[in-house]
Structure 1
Amino acid sequence: MADHYLADEGELVIEGQSTLQQPYCRQKLFYIDTQRHFFGGQRLRQIITTYALAYDDFDQSQLTALLAAEHLSTKSYYQRLSKGQQMLFQILLALASHVPYIILDEPFDGLDIIVRERIVAYMVEEVAEHGVSFLISSHNLDELDGLCDQVLFLQHHELVADYDLESLRATARKFQLVFADKHIPAVVKEHGQLIKVYGRVLEVYFADYTPTIETALQQKQPLMMAVQPLTITDVFRVKLGDRQAVWGGV
């Protein structure tokens, strides 16, 4: 997507424009490869100069103010910054570029909670005030809860699921259930998907929770029936987890 590698097939279309036919439209996209980049040995001011040339709407005065707020000096060498400071700088660089689409690859990996919260605050503010879209790739799904409104799952290089979280949470439910005996009620097996087992506590996901299912569960007189927050990790387990292995542990 960032054109760091030549695609084997397909094309990238940004707001109806093909990047093959209109390479200039890549100015709407911002991405820094955190593993392989060219400016490790450069000072921040050198990096800023490069990106100011690459993006027509780059706001250097805004970046200067943001760096000052984070106590980051433009004289500093990028490679001498801490991991958190490097990620902060990348976020601020992206914001100053004034692009509508920002791609982040494992942005919170190895960061302490304070730095993570500061980065999230910048992201949320940018979405709220300027309608910027962030595309985040991550293996740590817990860090994305409360931050994403759409989730896509990849497996073996293929897109296997695309969820609008607001729509999903309007119909789906997760419960912790405990029943008097060890037998799993038919309503749970037929309509639910087991996520985890804690002794006698069953954590169950219902993709389409209806009043009929509610009534059927109440009729089984569960000792505990507690609704739980539905997380992205839960949805991932339901979609890509080994359902038979979980049921086999009951």
Structure 2
Amino acid sequence: MKVEHLSKEIDQRLIIDDISFELKRGEIVGLIGRNGEGKTTLFRLLANHYNKTAGNVFINEENIDRHRDLYSQLFYIDSQYHSLNGMSPLQISKMYQELYPMFEADRFKNLVVRNELPLTKTYRTYSKGMQGLLQIILAICTNANYILLDEPLDGLDFYVKKQALQLLLSEVADHQKTLLISSHNLEELEYIIDRALIIKAGRLVKDYHLDEVKEAVKKVQMIFPNNELPSFVTEHAMIIERRGKVSVGIFAELTDEILKEISKYQPILFEELPISLEDVVASQVLDEAELNKSQQGGTSNE
């Protein structure tokens, strides 16, 4: 799937601003950004729940707005606006058989029963975790090649979350399905995604493979004489934490030349630390003022 120059304006405000990216078959891609940055709006545009202000989406090189049958290759349930609340799983199955020609009704029923979800109770009566698990079962049974999941693991307890992840990962491995998934929990995403798309103020600010970025990006804890960070360090690193005399920074790269220059300032401590997805995202999504605020409890990462 290819997204080209996608934009959305709402009430004369640009919510999605000229976003382009590609999704390959068999990939698991994380869509990451804080609340209000445009993640849900992007999902709605891809699924045609919103009209596009500009841009195009292609599947197999075909424009999906000109070949609307290709929308059956996409799965997305809007957590805020959907028609499932008054329906039981059996009624949901019947509706989705009409929407998705390749929908596997028997598999859907078997997975619902196997995961101990009530067949005759309505979606509205399910707990948030049960609703999330049912959505994931529904997603894989549509046989859509591109599955868009907005906070799918939110509200799931450990056991149900493990079941849901096993279902998703098996589907990707066995059938080369592609997942575009957002989550507040970056630690969860880190262990399942191949790629991260970072969105800020409606713009795609980074698109990278985790293995590559973790190889290049370095997290370092450091102490300098007089407890003063040299300007050369702050020019090359995003300072994400300060603990007394210790500063922790993220370097987009840490070349021999940069290390040589830093050594001139005679650091008392300059030690590399393990880097996480949350560290990388913080260095890309937040500026230093926002980081300081988040460390004081004012902002949460999404």
**TM, length-normalised to structure 2:** 0.73
Q: Conserved in 1, the CA contact under 8 Å of 2:76 and 2:149?
A: yes
Tell me what 2:20 maps to: none
Give me the whole-angstrom Cα distance separating, in 1, the residues matched to 2:61 and 2:87.
Answer: 36
Aligned 8 A contact 2:145 2:178 in 1: yes
The aligned counterpart of 1:235 is 280
Matches within 5 A, 1:206-245: 206-214=251-259, 220=266, 222-223=268-269, 225-231=271-277, 233-243=278-288
Return 18-27 or 7-16, whichever deviates more. 7-16
Query: Does the 8 Å CA contact 2:136/2:152 hold for their aligned counterparts?
Result: no
Distance in 2 (CA, whole Å) between partners of 1:98 and 1:221 is 56
User: Are residues 1:127 and 2:189 paired?
Assistant: no
Judged with a 3 Å threshold, the aligned counterparts in structure 2 of structure 1 residues 212 and 113 are, in CA distance, closer, same or farther, namely: farther
Asked which structure has the greater CA Rg, the reply is 1
Contact 1:58-1:98 within 8 A present in 2 as well: yes
Residue 149 of structure 2 corresponds to residue 143 of structure 1: no
Check 1:222–1:117 CA distance in 2 against 1; reply closer, same or farther (3 A cut).
farther
Match of 1:172 in 2: 217
Amino acid at match of 2:68: P
Offset at 1:150? 1.6
Is 1:14 aligned with 2:59?
yes
- Structure 2: gaps spanning 5 or more residues: 1-45, 296-302
Is 1:88 equivalent to 2:124 in the alignment? no
- For the residues of structure 1 that align with 2:281 and 2:291, how far apart are their CA atoms? 14
CA positional deviation for 1:111: 3.0
Is the contact made by 2:129 and 2:154 (CA closer than 8 Å) also made in structure 1?
no
Q: Given residue 44 of structure 1, which amino acid in structure 2 is its aligned partner?
A: P
What residue number does 2:82 align with? 37
Q: CA deviation at 1:135?
A: 0.9
Residue matched to 2:92: 47
SS in 2 for 1:93: helix
Number of aligned positions between the proteins:
247
Q: Write the letter of the residue equivalent to 2:134.
A: F
Distance in 2, Cα, partners of 1:215 & 1:127:
45
Confirm whether residue 23 of structure 1 aligns to residue 74 of structure 2. no
Match of 1:76 in 2: 121
The equivalent of 2:11 in structure 1 is none
**Aligned twin of 2:103:** 58
Name the structure where strand makes up a greater proportion of residues.
Answer: 2
Q: Helix, strand or coil for the counterpart of 1:152?
A: strand
Question: TM-score of the superposition, structure 1-length normalised?
Answer: 0.87
Q: What SS does structure 1 have at the residue aligned with 2:227? A: coil
Q: How far off is 1:214 after superposition?
A: 4.5
SS at match of 2:55: coil
Q: How far did residue 246 of structure 1 move?
A: 6.0
Q: Distance in 2 between matches of 1:37 and 1:246?
A: 36
Cα deviation code 1:127-179 (max 9, x no counterpart): 22222111123444343222222222222222222222222112111122234
Distance between the aligned counterparts of 1:245 and 1:29, measured in 2?
36
Aligned CA distance change for structure 1 residues 125 and 215 (closer, same or farther; 3 Å): farther
Cross-structure match for 1:198: 243
Superposition RMSD on alpha carbons, in Å?
A: 2.4
Which shows bigger deviation, 221-230 or 116-125? 221-230
- Deviation of the 1:114 alpha carbon: 3.0
Q: Is the 8 A contact 1:173 1:230 kept in 2?
A: no
Structure 1 residues 77 and 176: alpha-carbon distance in aligned structure 2, compared to 1, 3 A threshold: same
Correspondences of 1:109-124 after superposition (within 5 Å): 109-124=154-169
Of stretches 13-22 and 121-130 in structure 1, the one that deviates more from structure 2 is: 121-130
